[in-house]
Structure 1
Amino acid sequence: MANVTNNRPLSPHLQIYKLIPTMAMSIVHRITGGALYFGTILVAWWLIAAASGQAYFDWVNAIYGSFIGRLILFGYTWALVHHMLGGLRHFMWDLGYGFEKHFSTKLAKATLVASICLTVLIWIVGYIVR
């Protein structure tokens, strides 16, 4: 019996491809999309607590106000902003713009930097308004 798999080409995978910024941002975009599902549960929990009464609302706010709670909320904010910017990047591609290699690489890097800066700015404004 002949070994027919020796003549078949290997399907490309992550060990073959070099990780480039556009690939990394595509992967992060998918991860942040998944993270937003869990973060939305936190928003729903907060809203349910607000509708359930003062004692329960204070308890949930205490959890969200802890160091771990704020860290999770900061991550949720970043995921939301990053996913939005990635969505705008994909929308631009849907319109047929930005496919040039150097531009798409710069845009991928700019998406990461802008999402971090906007997240920090949102939290600074939140603390000032608070």
Structure 2
Amino acid sequence: MQHGHRGFISAAKQKEPALATRSTNRPLSPHLSIWKWGPHMLVSILHRATGSGLALVGTVLLVGWLAAAAAGEASYAAFMDWFTLADGRTNIVGYVLGIGLTWSLFQHIANGVRHLFMDAGANFELHRNKASAKATMVVSVLATLALWAYLIMGK
């Protein structure tokens, strides 16, 4: 047998009969088309998306708010005009960002608590896993509604 550079057997010289008999009818790795979509898959993706959204949007808003506040009253007023009406009430952009970030936070926290239990070794049974995934979505929506009802009605 001839050896290539540094003693390795050249791939061209090596013959693998097992590769020649491998079935080409089956996929080499799992593909999305063979998985049945479930709530546990959705919350896994939502956890990543809400974490990224909170980090990106939240950071941009916080830094913009701090920069506007540091730049003076005119800059701060211009920044707040993006999110409020002339009388100080929240406008549509303020509601969309506020409610979206609030829901993202509650969803991320609820799924984080779900994963805390999974890290402890619980909740791996499929039925309970799916039920807890659904619960994170219900809790995040209810908590968002409760907070915004308090913010709107409390004023």
Please confirm whether the aligned pair reaches a TM-score higher than 0.5, indicating the same fold. Answer: yes
- Alignment match, 2:121: 96
CA 123–9 in structure 1, closer or farther in 2 if over 3 Å, else same: same
RMSD: 2.1
1:1-130 equivalences under 5 Å are: 6=24, 9-40=27-58, 41-65=60-84, 66-130=91-155
Q: Percent identity?
A: 39
State the TM-score, normalized to the length of structure 2: 0.73
State the TM-score, normalized to the length of structure 1: 0.86
Measured in 2, the distance between the counterparts of 1:123 and 1:50 equals 25
Query: How many angstroms does 1:126 deviate by?
Result: 2.1
Query: How many angstroms does 1:7 deviate by?
Result: 6.5
Unaligned runs of 5+ in 2: 1-19, 85-90
Specify which structure has the higher proportion of helix.
Answer: 1
Unaligned runs of 5+ in 1: none
Greater C-alpha radius of gyration = 2
Tell me: higher relative CO, structure 1 or 2? Use CA pairs within 8 A at least 6 residues apart.
1
Query: How many angstroms does 1:15 deviate by?
Result: 1.4
1:86-125 Cα shifts (integer Å, max 9, x gaps): 1111111111111121111111001001101111111122
Tell me the number of residue pairs that the alignment of Structure 1 and Structure 2 aligns. Answer: 129
Range 3-12 or range 24-33, more displaced: 3-12
